[in-house]
């Protein structure tokens, strides 16, 4: 008798769980916080007017500011698939919402710019305050790209400003 009832109870629980999930999804997209679009990438040029010192020094000294040309240099010896893998580190926001897609569609994001460290700047451009952009960076923010195989002598404190401005 119990054996016959059990599957029905399980089924009921499952139906409830599914209904709950549907409701939860609706609520979160209606509140506008969870469902909100993530900030989009705007490119380093867009930071220039308000942060001219960081911009000028970045463009003049950081290899990141020319990192797309490193791919170009090796392009002929690589397949399209291999080149796609370079984009993750040598461009801005590749594979993320509002990030680099291609040279034709998103030329302003072709190098790895300010936003690879400070995060997408779309919101910050509108609101212009410290809360809308990532500061207080740590080694973790670098290790996404400066992965262990690539690190030759990469130390935290003395180098955290290296490659920036
Ligand atoms: C229209 C002006 C404006 C533009 C454009 C702008 N910013 Fe800012 N930014 C500000 C202001 C204002 C602050 C706050 C300064 C303060 O609080 O002392 C700020 C602060 C910052 C900070 C410090 C955050 C912290 O935690 O202290 C960073 C980093 C930053 N901006 C990066 C960027 C980047 C990267 C871009 C381009 C994607 C950019 N900004 C574009 C106005 C701007
Ligand atoms: C999105 C990937 C990415 C992130 C995140 C990143 N880097 Fe880089 N970095 C690169 C690439 C790519 C190069 C090499 C560019 C080239 O030569 O083509 C580079 C080069 C450098 C260099 C070489 C010297 C120079 O002048 O550019 C230093 C130093 C450096 N990065 C420091 C840092 C630090 C410190 C952080 C974290 C705060 C960081 N990077 C975060 C991708 C990244
Ligand atoms: C995981 C992140 C990552 C990927 C993927 C990546 N790179 Fe890099 N690349 C870097 C970093 C970081 C540096 C800076 C020097 C270092 O750490 O070795 C760099 C340096 C370089 C340099 C040397 C630039 C110089 O001035 O000496 C070249 C060239 C280069 N990458 C080309 C490529 C190509 C081509 C691809 C794709 C096949 C690629 N990279 C994929 C992160 C990456
Ligand atoms: C390689 C990573 C990296 C890149 C790329 C980078 N920054 Fe920074 N930025 C830092 C670090 C590290 C700090 C020090 C403060 C902190 O810990 O966040 C900083 C601080 C700042 C500040 C706060 C004021 C200051 O100097 O302490 C501003 C504004 C800023 N960056 C703007 C920019 C702009 C604009 C660009 C592009 C032109 C840029 N950054 C590119 C790593 C980076």
Token pair recorded at residue 99:
């990030």
Q: How confident is the model at residue 55 (pLDDT cuts 50, 70, 90)?
A: very high
Residue 51: how many CA atoms within 13 Å on its side-chain side? Answer: 18
Spatial CA neighbour of 106 closest among 163, 43, 51, 28? 43
Q: What is the pLDDT of residues 88-103, one digit of tens each?
A: 999 999 999 999 999 9
Q: What is the mean pLDDT of residues 57-83?
A: 95
Q: What is the pLDDT of residue 148?
A: 78
What is the domain extent for residue 48? Answer: 44-159
Instruction: Determine if ligand 1 sits within 6 Å of the CB of residue 43.
Output: no
Q: Which one of the ligands is nearest to 68 CA? A: 2
User: Do 74 and 137 fall into the same domain?
Assistant: yes
Q: How confident is the model at residue 150 (pLDDT cuts 50, 70, 90)?
A: low
Q: What is the mean pLDDT of residues 56-75?
A: 96
User: Do 68 and 121 fall into the same domain?
Assistant: yes
User: Do 77 and 9 fall into the same domain?
Assistant: no
Q: Is the pLDDT of residue 9 over 70?
A: no
Own/partner contacts of 124-129, CB < 8 Å, gap of 24 or more, are: 124/39, 125/42, 125/46, 128/50
| Number of domains the chain is built from | 2
Q: What is the pLDDT of residue 21?
A: 45
Q: Is the pLDDT of residue 23 over 50?
A: no
How far apart (Å, rounded) are the C-alpha atoms in residues 134 and 144?
15
Sign of CA dihedral 138, 143, 148, 152: negative
User: Do 136 and 75 fall into the same domain?
Assistant: yes
Q: What is the pLDDT of residue 162?
A: 76
Question: Which of ligand 3's atoms lies nearest the C-alpha of 147?
Answer: 1
User: What distance in angstroms lies between residue 105's CA and the mean position of ligand 2's atoms?
Assistant: 24
User: What distance in angstroms lies between residue 69's CA and the mean position of ligand 1's atoms?
Assistant: 27
**pTM over 0.75, yes/no:** yes
How far apart (Å, rounded) are the C-alpha atoms in residues 135 and 72?
31
Q: How confident is the model at residue 13 (pLDDT cuts 50, 70, 90)?
A: low
Q: What is the pLDDT of residue 38?
A: 81
Helix (H, G, I), strand (E, B) or coil at 109: helix
Q: Is the pLDDT of residue 155 over 90?
A: no
Question: Which of ligand 3's atoms lies nearest the C-alpha of 82?
Answer: 38
Q: Is the pLDDT of residue 7 over 50?
A: yes
77, part of any domain: yes
Mean of all residue pLDDT scores within the chain? 81
How far apart (Å, rounded) are the C-alpha atoms in residues 143 and 139?
6
- Please name the residue that has the structure tokens 């397949």: 79
User: Do 29 and 83 fall into the same domain?
Assistant: no
User: Do 19 and 63 fall into the same domain?
Assistant: no
């Amino acid at each position: 008798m119990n054996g016959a009832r059990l599957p029905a109870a399980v089924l009921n629980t499952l139906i409830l769980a599914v209904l709950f999930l549907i409701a939860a999804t609706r609520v979160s997209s209606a509140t506008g916080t969870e469902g909100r679009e993530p900030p989009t990438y705007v490119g380093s040029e867009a930071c220039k007017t308000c942060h001219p010192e960081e911009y000028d020094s970045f463009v003049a000294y950081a290899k990141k500011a020319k990192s797309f040309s490193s791919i170009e240099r090796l392009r002929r010896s690589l397949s399209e698939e291999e080149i796609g893998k370079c984009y993750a580190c040598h461009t801005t926001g590749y594979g993320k919402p509002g990030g680099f897609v291609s040279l034709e569609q998103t030329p302003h994001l072709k190098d790895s710019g300010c936003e690879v460290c400070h995060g997408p700047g779309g919101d910050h451009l509108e609101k212009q305050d410290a809360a809308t952009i990532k500061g207080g960076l740590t080694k973790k923010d670098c290790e996404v790209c400066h992965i262990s195989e690539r690190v030759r002598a990469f130390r935290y404190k003395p180098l955290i400003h290296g490659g920036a401005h």
